[in-house]
A and B are shown apart, each in its own frame.
Chain A
Amino acid sequence: MAFIKLNDLEVEVEDGTNIIEAARQHDIEVPHYCYHPGLTRPANCRMCLVEPHVFFPPAGKVVPDRQLATGCTTTVRTAPPDRKLDGKYDFIVRTDTPRVKKAREDILEFLLVHHPLDCPVCDQAGECDLQDFSYNHGSGKSRYLEVKNVPPKKDLGPDVLLYSTRCIVCTRCIRFCDEVAGTGELGLIHRGSHDEIDIPRDHDENPLRLLDNKLAGNVVDICPVGALISKDFLFKSRPWFMKQVNSVCPGCSVGCNITVDYKEDGLYRIKPRFHEDINQHWMCDDGRLGYHYVNSEDRLQIPMKRVDGELVPTSWADALNLIVEKFSETDPESIAVIGSAQGTNEENYLLGKLAREVLKTESIGLFGREPGEEHKFPQFTIDADKNPNTRGARDMLKLGEDASLTGEALWNGIANVKVAYLVNGAPERPLDEGAKQVLEAVDFLVVQDIFESDVAQLADVVLPGVTFAEKDGSFTNAKGWVQRIHRAVDPPGEARVDWEIIQQLAKRLGGEMDYHFAGEIALEIAENVPDYQDATHQNIGAGGVNIERG
């Protein structure tokens, strides 16, 4: 640890920390553009200038250094005893002197020379570093009277637009593509004040490559200004009109930490949230753009039952009574309960409890999305398992690695059951002929789902469940991190939160279940499921709990 003097504070920071991070740890803002903690540091924006102090022998005292230094590349280290400043400090730096303030003001004036100041029509307005820093550190006036450069707006790829006029050429996006994605689609063309970010094009502006890697959306997040814009979010909403909630991406078993931006009418965008051990600052485009199904008008909104071969709407009371009747009159050995790797730990725990304690059956299975492709990047991996909670669901349902009712074996396993209760959550999964025959042969099939899926088409009763954005709970990712998802929007129509549906069924079947919120179930999980003793909602917090670390 290095002992430093930061403005008037005396603080300890770890060796190797740069001034921006050291200041951030103590709530001092050092404005910066090109520096991003997940990327290399070219120190080209010059915005983060700070004033280091050095020992000046002729004066016999510590004085401000002759030159200002960039806070991003100036790191703090423990000094040898004879090199301490004022006898005790390893480093002395000020971020608030008139010299620093003047430097910031000047840099901002340069950065704004060619900027169009089109904040009123810019998507970034409200969460823009150029706007914020200009307001906090800029002069409010420009002395530039000449004609501004007006480079063209560019289409870079499937989801990314570049408004070159707004670009301050910090090169974060270029470094992201080089270092994290390893694909290198972006670069700088021309020189000096004519610098532009671009993909490779021929002389007629036709592209040789597109910014179409699966991590491309991250360049929009890290762009400190409104230059790189997501087509998906373009002109959709002002940032300050949206509410934000922390969650976990349901797209694969990596479990990227995300924030969900929403309004009353649905989700608007998903952005990655920093987690050191899981996704760092990033997420993939499959997760980022995969939220639209939540807002879909085709979501299941009312319970349905099969009458004369057709699914018709019915009431919750009727649907539940019908299920209770069938469960009650069926021999426990002919009942199967199938959980979902898309569901939360809490749901799957209750489902397991319903099966074992109320229905007295051991035929418990697991359903979910089919494995997809794994994508590896230099600093990021997208898992092949496209379910967020395969591990958690197995733990909750007490299914070992060799459990028979999972994967392809599921269909053989339920070939002879009479009543099956299947929680889906993977509506896009198609069923092959074999699986269809098995499900058709089941006398009474209850499906809890969010869309009219292949599975729901074969059901005798369909119960409308909810998506990750409409419920509370926790997911366990492939590496054992238990993380919280939070409810953002209300379920559509009469759809109900999945664990509440399970509890309703259990109650009607005479089971003893009385939970009021998901956190209560998590408390019971902590008591009953091995390794989950720390995984209460209070403990999980924003960073998650790892069950492998004990």
Chain B
Amino acid sequence: MSGTTTTGSATPAGAKQEGSTRRTRRRARRAERIRDAGGQLPTRSLVLRYILLLVVFAICIGPFLWQLSTSLKGTTEDIYTFPPRWFPSHPTLGNYDKVAQIIPVWDYALNSLKVAASNVVTNVIGSSMAGYALARLRFKGRKLAGVAFVMAMLVPLESIMIAQFTTMRELHLNNTLIAVVLPGCIGAMNVLLMRNAFANLPYEIEEAAIIDGANVWQRFLRVALPSVKGTIAVVAIFAFMGAWDDFLWPLIVLSDTSKFTLTVGLNYLNGTFNTNPRVVAAGTIIAVLPLIVMFACLQRFFFRGVGEGAVKG
């Protein structure tokens, strides 16, 4: 792992004080980058790093590129040639158009967005609260509560799906988007991720707040939460992805075609009699893009220094 760890003189993390404006924060981040990328990294190791990045890139991106390429191929192009052709000979966006003709993509995407966004909000709030209690508070029954979450994570989802469906019917929630969100709205795995993140925080960071007389909610909101932004971003990504990708549960619990989520709706593209793989590929690209964008937006949270928002003063 030559040179993979950050070197050089760190800008004191505390420099980024609370109340710093967005601009100064951005400037600080830029400074951090420059520091990171700076001349301290020898050319040889930089080249090596890019070679490694490119190798992993080639391994990772293949299927995605192939999907993209298929989705851009016209109807006259043979897509079953061997070896597969990576570049469409007559690139066209017609397949994306066709997806929109076959299913109301925007309506379905909106449903998915509602479900995924709610799932992010409930998971971030619910699992950070639970995770904080499990990691930082002492109380009787803590172990038991922890075990409950571990067990919940291990329950084979498929085996309880019909029971969940019956519950939703009894709550008169079947065929609603709420029913789609509810079972996964505070994922046990996310609780454990948050617990782990809070547990890894140095104990000192809360001590100052305790001395200042902050109560437990203040400590949670003002001190602990800002220190685990990275993990919150992970939970948000997982929650979004989980809700966005879920197929079986929304299929079971929804019956109105108009309420379908995107993943369920895109399944219509696999026709009973004829399937156009190009249109299916276009559909999968439509489904995947928001996830990649979501990742691209949230990834910066993973790369901030520990100091930011954590140990203050």
Q: Do A and B come from one complex?
A: no
B contact set with A: CB distance below 8 Å:
none
A contact set with B: CB distance below 8 Å:
none
